[in-house]
Amino acid sequence: MAEIFAGIRPGEEEKTRALIDNLEVLDVTREIAEKAGYYKGTIRSQTLELDDCLIAATALLHRAVLATGNGKHYPMRDVEVRVVACG
């Protein structure tokens, strides 16, 4: 949620909220936080962000496919990542 709202552009608020209202929002649990910390601490990347680690850990632990417009943000080998066209 934070990453979505951080990237929201003026005029997109209504459509973004409508989209979010139709999604299942998952809480960050202790298990997810631990896995995200493991990713951040063990994957050697100058650009790896903690928020991307949290997203990847959530996908992994919920056995979900992580859809993204930028696969470079997710170098985790144990997460199924699909790069999709955005826009």
Contact indicator for 68, 81 with CB cutoff of 8 Å: yes
| The pLDDT of residue 29 | 98
Whole-prediction pTM value? Answer: 0.86
Q: Are 64 and 81 in contact (CB under 8 A)?
A: no
Q: In order along the chain (87 residues), what is the average pLDDT of each group of 10 residues?
A: 88 93 94 98 94 97 95 96 86
**H or E, element range at 81:** strand 81-83
Contact 2, 23 (CB under 8 A): no
